[in-house]
Amino acid sequence: MVDSLQITSAIVGFGASFGLLYFTLRGYTYPKVPKPFFDDTKVFKFFALGMVLGMILFGLESWAQSTTETVVVLVLLYAVMEELLKLVILNFPRFQRKVDTAFYGLTIGFGISTTFTFASVYVSLLDVDSPGLFEMVAFSLIGLQYVFLHGSTTAMIGIGVVRRDIIGYFSEALLIHLGYGLLMVPFFTESEPWNYIGLVAASALVVYGYYRVHVQSLPALVRDAKRLSLRKDK
């Protein structure tokens, strides 16, 4: 039987990921543009791949038992592991120098966030005795952070593969992930007000990461691709 914890986790994990993916991609496909910058069929396939990766990542990370002394080390290791995995997938030769790779990277990221977020929020709420509205809101906010984080960092890596600037864009994605993880450490280890300060700062960082992708990096990539296409036509 579906309970309120599962509904909350599904809304944050699946609802937010699908919604933000649609919001980000809608300007780059029909009817906004006559020729879409990506294949809808591949979007569904890469989203499914991301969902599988999200389950794998959650499974791997849930094995480790963190303590106050080891939490920072685990945060750093998780960030590096996750971003390297994304880089390995998106840096296959078949994806290099192709504009649609950036959009498939974004799609994989939001796919990861669906299952990873759902599982993380649900398990976190289960660990709380009689979770109320406050706990649901708090862990839902953390879930939304995962959605912004994975969507933006995976897109950044994809853009880097397209532009052949892997080091630059991968470094930016990794720094955002590392910064997010470190800012969240006080939320789990400190008392008020530091826990809430860390939560707000981490939220601001991942929203900034999404802003970089949606407002700056993706539009700039598309403009450059159009400019290059016009030159080839001439």
Q: Give residue 1's pLDDT band: very low, low, confident or very high (50, 70, 90).
A: very low
Which string of b and e fits 199-226 if b means at least 16 CB within 10 Å?
Answer: bebbbebbeebbebbbeebbeebbeebe
**pLDDT, position 129:** 79
pLDDT, tens digit (0-9, with 9 covering 90-100), for 32-49: 888 899 999 999 999 999
- Our count of domains for the chain comes to 1
**Which domain range does residue 128 map to?**
4-63+70-233
**Is it the case that residue 66 has pLDDT exceeding 70?**
no
- Average pLDDT on 93-108 reads 94
Average pLDDT of the chain is 91
Tell me which long-range contacts 228-232 makes (C-beta under 8 A, separation of at least 24). none
The amino acid sitting at 116 is: F
**pLDDT, position 232:** 59
**pLDDT, position 134:** 82
Give, in order, the Cα–Cα distances in Å from 210 to each of 42, 153, 204: 22, 8, 10
Closest Cα to residue 166, out of 153, 156, 176? 156
C-alpha 205/C-alpha 146 separation (Å) is 11
DSSP 3-state of 16: helix
DSSP 3-state of 57: helix
**Is it the case that residue 65 has pLDDT exceeding 80?**
no
pLDDT, tens digit (0-9, with 9 covering 90-100), for 128-166: 877 888 888 888 999 999 999 999 999 999 999 999 999
**pLDDT, position 15:** 96
- Average pLDDT on 211-232 reads 87
Confirm whether pTM is higher than 0.85: yes
**pLDDT, position 222:** 94
**pLDDT, position 210:** 98
C-alpha of 83 from chain center = 10
pLDDT, tens digit (0-9, with 9 covering 90-100), for 12-26: 999 999 999 999 999
